[in-house]
Amino acid sequence: NGSVTLEAVHGGPLTSTELSQISLFCNSAGDGNGSGVRSSSEIVNKSSTMIDLKNKNMVGNWAKLDGDLLASLTPMLQEHVVSAVAVDLVGEGRDVISKYMEASSHLIENGGPAISIHQWMMQVARYSGPNSAPLGSLGGAKVEPGAGYRRLQILCSGLQSAYILFSIMASPGIDRRAVEDDTIEACVNLIKNHIQKHIIPSLSNTGHLGVASSTSSSKPPQDQDDEYLHPEMMSPMSKKTPMPRRSTPNRNDVAKSLKAVYGPILSTIGLFGTILESAETFIITNEMDDRLLFTVCAASLSSLTIDSSTAVRADTASLASLVQVSAMNLAVAIFRRYPRHRSIITEDLFPLMLKLPTSKRSLRTYLVRKSHGSTEMTNIKHSPYANTSGHEYIQPITALLLLSIQTCVTMPFQSDEDITEEGNADGGAEGSGSDSNQFDGEENKNSKANDTSGLDACAAVCNQFTSQMLQRCSRKGEEGGASEFRPILHNLIDDLLFVRQLPEYPSAEMILFYLSQRLGHDLLRASSMSKSSAQQMEATYLATAMDALGKITSAVASGLLLNRESRFQLPESMSPGQFDPKEEVNRCFCGRGNLDTFMLDCDRCHSWYHGSCVGITKDTVPEVWLCDDCILQTVILEQAKVFARGNGNSRPLTTSDHNHVLRQLLLSHLSKKSHTFLSPQAERAREFWIATWVKELTLSKNISNDVGTFDLRLVRSHVIAQWPYSRLQEHRNSLSKYLSTDGYQRIMTCLVASTELSQNFPRLLGVLLRLVGDGMASIRKLSLKAILQVVNVDPALMAQPSVRKEVSRCFHDEAISVREAAVSLVGDYVLQTPNLATAFHATLLERILDRGVSVRKRIVKIFRDILLTNPAYAGRATACHAMLQRAADRKEDDGVRDLIHETFHILWFNSKAFTMGTSTLELLELSNSTPGRKASQDGTKAELYCLEASKQMVEVVKVSGSPEILTSLVKGLLFGFNEGDKDKKVAERKRRQEDARNQCSSLVSSVIELLLAFEENREQNEDDGKELVALLSTLSVFSEAYPELLVPHIDTLVPYLKGDNSAKKYEPSIVSTVSIVVSHVSSHFSRAELNRLMAGELSTDLVNIAYKFPDRAVSAAVEALCALTNHPEASQGSI
Write the DSSP string, 928-986: HTSTT--SSTTS-HHHHHHHHHHHHHHHHHHHHSSSHHHHHHHHHHHH--S--TTSTTH
Whole-angstrom distance, CA of residue 515 vs CA of residue 294: 28
Give the three-state DSSP class for 766.
helix
Are the C-beta atoms of residues 36 and 72 closer than 8 Å to each other?
yes
Among residues 404, 392, 384, which one has the least CA distance to residue 464? Answer: 404
Whole-angstrom distance, CA of residue 900 vs CA of residue 138: 85
Whole-angstrom distance, CA of residue 863 vs CA of residue 922: 18
* Per-10-residue mean pLDDT, the chain, length 1135: 46 78 53 36 35 41 70 86 92 88 62 74 62 45 75 91 87 71 91 94 86 47 37 40 53 87 93 92 88 94 91 88 94 94 94 89 84 43 50 92 95 64 42 44 68 88 95 79 88 94 94 94 77 62 92 94 84 68 74 76 86 84 85 83 72 84 87 80 91 87 64 86 65 56 86 92 93 86 91 87 87 88 86 76 88 91 87 87 91 90 87 59 47 48 82 90 87 74 63 81 91 84 81 91 89 88 84 91 86 83 86 88 83 65
Are the C-beta atoms of residues 1046 and 1079 closer than 8 Å to each other?
no
Are the C-beta atoms of residues 1077 and 1037 closer than 8 Å to each other?
no
Whole-angstrom distance, CA of residue 277 vs CA of residue 535: 51
Among residues 755, 812, 748, 747, which one has the least CA distance to residue 780? Answer: 812
Are the C-beta atoms of residues 299 and 196 closer than 8 Å to each other?
yes
pLDDT for 320 equals 92
Phi, psi (degrees; rounded to nearest 5) at 600: -115, 150
Burial class from Cβ neighbours inside 10 Å (0-12, 13-18, 19+) for residue 499 reads: buried
CA angle 21, 26, 28 (to 5 degrees): 155
Residue 784 backbone zone (phi > 0: left; psi -120 to 50: alpha; other: beta): alpha
Give the three-state DSSP class for 1061.
coil
pLDDT for 496 equals 95
Residue 119: which residues within 8 A CB-CB, separation 6 or more?
125, 127, 145, 146
Phi, psi (degrees; rounded to nearest 5) at 30: 100, 170
pLDDT for 106 equals 56
| Cα 1075 to the center of its chain, rounded Å | 64
How does pLDDT run across 55-107, given as a tens digit for each residue?
A: 444 444 666 667 777 778 888 888 999 999 999 999 999 888 888 887 776 54
Phi, psi (degrees; rounded to nearest 5) at 711: -80, 110
Query: First vs last Cα of the chain: how many Å apart?
Result: 128
- The amino acid sitting at 328 is M
Among residues 346, 366, 175, 203, which one has the least CA distance to residue 272? Answer: 203
DSSP H stretches of helix in 816-930: 816-832, 841-846, 853-869, 876-888, 894-908, 920-928
For helices 342-353 and 482-499, angle between their N-to-C axes, nearest 10 degrees:
110
What is the 3-state secondary structure of 391-444?
Answer: CEEECHHHHHHHHHHHCCCCCCCCCCHHHHHHHHHHHHHHCCCCHHHHHHHHHH
- The amino acid sitting at 660 is H
Whole-angstrom distance, CA of residue 214 vs CA of residue 224: 12
Whole-angstrom distance, CA of residue 483 vs CA of residue 907: 43
Give the three-state DSSP class for 671.
helix
Q: What does pTM read for this prediction?
A: 0.80
Phi, psi (degrees; rounded to nearest 5) at 705: -75, 170
What is the 3-state secondary structure of 274-319?
Answer: HHHHHHHHHHHHCCCCHHHHHHHHHHHHHHHHCCCCCCCCCCHHHH
CB neighbours of residue 825 within 10 Å: 25
Q: How far is CA 1102 from CA 198, 478, 784, 1025, in A?
A: 99, 81, 61, 20
Whole-angstrom distance, CA of residue 1038 vs CA of residue 1084: 14
Phi, psi (degrees; rounded to nearest 5) at 91: -65, -40
How does pLDDT run across 432-491, given as a tens digit for each residue?
A: 344 444 445 566 667 777 778 889 999 999 999 999 999 999 887 666 678 889 999 999
Radius of gyration, CA atoms only, the chain = 41
Within 13 Å of residue 46, how many CA atoms lie on the same side as its CB? 10
Give the three-state DSSP class for 870.
coil
Residue 139: which residues within 8 A CB-CB, separation 6 or more?
8
Element (H, E) at 599: strand 599-601
Give the three-state DSSP class for 871.
coil
Whole-angstrom distance, CA of residue 920 vs CA of residue 944: 9
Whole-angstrom distance, CA of residue 506 vs CA of residue 757: 12
Whole-angstrom distance, CA of residue 98 vs CA of residue 90: 12
Element (H, E) at 609: strand 608-610
Whole-angstrom distance, CA of residue 212 vs CA of residue 143: 21
